[in-house]
Chain A
Amino acid sequence: MPTFEHGEFKVEVDEDGFITDPEIWNEELATALATTEGVDEMTEEHWKLVNYLRNYYMQFGIAPMVRKLCKETGFPLKKVYEMFPSGPAKGACKVAGLPKPTGCV
């Protein structure tokens, strides 16, 4: 398994850089993971999105559909990509410490 190292962090991740143990997630780790997804600074809006994802995941055990995410956070998709340039699935879910979303190719 690859490891993700950043400052004090040394955590186990999968090939795509998603943390394998969701329990170890905290805000410092999220900020560190964000640097790998083209996010230099976690603003209030970034946290709003990340916290929404975490809450949804804790309640339902899966990541929300993208449309739902946009609707409930009030961020249009364009804005989501401005915040997380690699997109909601790869960028935002990784920072939020969710397991890798599975999708159809």
Chain B
Amino acid sequence: MPKEYKTPMLDELEKGPWPSFVKEIKLAAKNSPMSNDLLGLLERSYNERIGHWKHGGIVGVMGYGGGVIGRYVDVPEDFPNISHFHTIRINQPSGWFYTSDALRTLCNIWEKRGSGLTNMHGSTGDIVFLGTKTDELEPIFSELTEAGFDLGGSGSDVRTPSCCVGPGRCEWACYDTLKLCYDITMRYQDELHRPAFPYKWKFKMSGCPNDCVASIARADISIIGTWKDDIRVDAEEIKNYDKAGMDIFNDVVLNCPAKCMKYDAKAKAIEINNDDCRHCMHCINAMPKALRPGTDTGAVVLIGSKAPIVEGALLSSVLIPFINLDDEDEREDFFDLIEEIQDVWCEEGKARERVGEFIQRVGMGNFLEAIGVEPIPEMVAYPRDNPYVFYEDYYDDEEEDE
């Protein structure tokens, strides 16, 4: 009979109409002594206001350096069932599309060999299995392999690439995010499973500037769909939005950050100056039936974002303003550039320095020179915004040309 823990503090977190992790752990605790001890440990931590997880276990499976994160409790004598409580990351399918059968297979493996608790999905995008013992790792790995799954990334490696649902479900997808995510995953298998970088490296793919996987805020390489030509306009549908009571002038036109739209209230017609459009998606999101991205589509590649850990948070900045990912040559050039960047960063980067921090330290100019990329205006957020920068050299060059 498993030990029964009184959990008055945790019970508070079950109240209210929203989902509760306490409910889930209690449910799992009915069949899993690990989950039961987890309840007891958590209640104790809440009472003592001290965490009882030790940091920095090194466990894994043969052949891989990543994918499993070692976790131990510092009071194993009181909670023997969770003396080991390792986390396993599993590479999710592109866009998180599963069959019900695949989900059942995963859960069956995990209920047999772990706590039964999962996190679908972790922030990086992986399937996360929470809590197992060292002896179970190899059996879990082989059962997952048999079911067609593989471990994800952890530590200083290429983290499991993730993408939005892309053309699988979404009309805005400007390129095939699912395919690129799969291709990147396959291409960087070694780098994914065998950590050898200064720190983590994340690829994230979003099909349009709505950026549903928030790649611009947390991926070292953000690949965001965009278009080169004009926003497609269905004039009739604009009239319908007006008829339905939409305040097009205030809610769409005035909210345009580039102020590149005009609205003729009499004719119920929109005019867009596409040259000034910043591709923010606001007008398209507001009137999805009337406006659509153009047809000359591709992606913009950005570099260097990260969440705050060692240094503060960074957003990605433009590296390649437009790339057609269907074009074999452009794809190969893209991969060559990625590998060049990784080379420079691995050679010159400090331990635990993300590529964005590295660029800040050495300066964007030096970084671009090292990777052999010419600086271009698209890389600058506010060109010619700084009155202390002079353009004399630039003018001199021009005069010499003449």
A interface residues, Cβ below 8 angstroms from B:
15-16, 18, 38, 65-67, 70, 77-78, 81, 85-90, 100-105
Q: How many A-B residue pairs have CB under 8 A?
A: 68
B338 at the binding interface (Cβ < 8 Å) = no
B59 touches A77 (CB 8 A): no
B199 at the binding interface (Cβ < 8 Å) = yes
Question: Given contacts A15-B84, A81-B194, A89-B65, is CB(A104)–CB(B58) below 8 Å?
Answer: no
B60 touches A90 (CB 8 A): yes
Question: Which B77-125 residues have a C-beta within 8 angstroms of A?
Answer: 84, 87
B63 touches A101 (CB 8 A): no
B72 touches A15 (CB 8 A): yes
Specify the main secondary structure of chain B where it touches its partner. loop
Partner of B190, one of A16, A78, A85, A105: A78
User: Within 8 Å CB of B197, what residues of A?
Assistant: 67
In angstroms, how far is the closest chain A Cβ from the Cβ of B79?
14
Residue of B nearest to A90 (CB): B58
Partner of A66, one of B62, B70, B196: B196
Question: In the complex, A66→B58 CA distance in Å?
Answer: 15
User: Within 8 Å CB of A65, what residues of B?
Assistant: 198, 351
In angstroms, how far is the closest chain A Cβ from the Cβ of B105?
26
Question: Which B24-57 residues have a C-beta within 8 angstroms of A?
Answer: 54-57
Question: Given contacts A78-B190, A89-B195, is CB(A105)–CB(B60) below 8 Å?
Answer: no
Q: A67-B346, A78-B190 are in contact. List 5 more A-B contacts (CB 8 A).
A: A16-B59, A38-B62, A66-B195, A86-B62, A100-B58
Residue of B nearest to A101 (CB): B58
Residue of A nearest to B54 (CB): A15
User: Within 8 Å CB of B59, what residues of A?
Assistant: 16, 90
In angstroms, how far is the closest chain B Cβ from the Cβ of A1?
11
B84 touches A104 (CB 8 A): no
B57 touches A15 (CB 8 A): yes
B156 at the binding interface (Cβ < 8 Å) = yes
B352 at the binding interface (Cβ < 8 Å) = yes
User: Within 8 Å CB of B58, what residues of A?
Assistant: 16, 18, 89-90, 100-101, 103
User: Within 8 Å CB of A101, what residues of B?
Assistant: 58
Question: In the complex, A2→B97 CA distance in Å?
Answer: 43
Residue of B nearest to A93 (CB): B58
Question: In the complex, A18→B70 CA distance in Å?
Answer: 13
In angstroms, how far is the closest chain A Cβ from the Cβ of B63?
5
Question: In the complex, A90→B87 CA distance in Å?
Answer: 16
Question: In the complex, A86→B346 CA distance in Å?
Answer: 22
In angstroms, how far is the closest chain B Cβ from the Cβ of A52?
16
Partner of A103, one of B63, B195, B346: B195
B305 at the binding interface (Cβ < 8 Å) = no
B63 touches A81 (CB 8 A): yes
Question: In the complex, A105→B156 CA distance in Å?
Answer: 8
In angstroms, how far is the closest chain B Cβ from the Cβ of A15?
5
Partner of A85, one of B55, B62, B156: B62
Question: In the complex, A88→B193 CA distance in Å?
Answer: 12
In angstroms, how far is the closest chain A Cβ from the Cβ of B303?
20
In angstroms, how far is the closest chain A Cβ from the Cβ of B34?
16
